[in-house]
Structure formats: C-alpha cells, structure tokens
C-alpha cells in the first residue's frame, strides 16, 4: 500500500515543493498537493489551512509545508488542534521533531536550504517514529484544549 502524504506551499516554497513532490513520487509515495501550483505570489494560509485541517482530522498522518522562511506556514498550521508543525533546517532537527515532539507536519524554509538537504530531512521525518516515554507527557501538555 502506498503511503499518502499531503504537501502545500506558497510561492516562496513552490520550487522546493515540486522537487520534493517529484522525488517522493519516484520513491512510490502518493502525494496530495494542496497547492500552490505556480511561483506567482499567494497568501500561504490559503493552502496551509486546508492541509492542517486534513492532518487535524486524521485524514493524513504526516504532512509537508513550505514557504520562503518556513515560519508563516508553521505558525498557520499550528493554529489547528492536534497539529504539531516543526520548522526544520537540518537533519537532526527533523529527526528530533518526530522522536521528541511527535511532530506530524514538517515545515521547510524554501529559500534558505538546499533542495537535496530538504529532501533528506523529509525522508528522515517520514521514517522516524515518536520515541514516547518521557516525551509522551510533554507532548500531551502542548494542546490548550
């Protein structure tokens, strides 16, 4: 069975989104693209809210979001209950995002990291499990409601 991964970006992350999407499809993943579909200027919440809602309602287990810095998309996604979007910029951060905080969305800075590094972080993120244990209680304390 194919693993289904949703992905979304604004114009600042569009080129990297396309690169990651193509690489994941070549590795057998099914990608659900929430947009944007060009590098024309758009407002990132228009793409990120639908993806984050899909994660929050458990339509998908893990997701990928991108913008120029990664900050705007991460802030937007984290407004949704049960979404834990982690801004990642290196392999270790991507690994710990899954292991220690059970992050379910990786946010990437499309203008600040190389495409190949971004793809390696995505692979680590998708293939790392939450370690639970002492981190379980901490994760449970994240939500306000």
Strands 30-33 and 4-9: parallel
Indicate which residues carry an active-site annotation. Answer: 67, 100
Mapping DSSP to helix (H, G, I), strand (E, B) and coil, where does residue 132 land? coil
Determine contact, residues 123/81, Cβ cutoff 8 Å: no
DSSP 85-130: EEE--SHHHHHHHHHHH---EEEEETTTS-HHHHHHHHHHHHH---
CA dist 75 and 57 (Å) reads 18
């Amino acid at each position: 069975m194919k693993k289904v991964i949703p992905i979304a970006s604004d114009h600042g992350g569009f080129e990297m989104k396309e690169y990651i999407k193509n690489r994941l499809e070549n590795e057998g993943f099914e990608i659900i693209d929430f947009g944007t579909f060009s590098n024309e200027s758009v407002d990132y919440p228009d793409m990120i809210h639908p993806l984050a809602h899909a994660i929050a309602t458990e339509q998908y287990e893990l997701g990928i979001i991108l913008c120029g810095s990664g900050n705007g998309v991460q802030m937007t996604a984290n407004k949704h209950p049960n979404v834990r979007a982690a801004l990642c910029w290196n392999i270790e951060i991507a690994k710990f995002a899954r292991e220690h905080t059970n992050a379910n969305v990786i946010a990437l800075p499309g203008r600040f990291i190389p495409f190949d590094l971004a793809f390696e972080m995505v692979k680590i993120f998708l293939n790392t499990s939450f370690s639970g244990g002492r981190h379980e209680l901490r994760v449970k304390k994240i939500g306000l409601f």
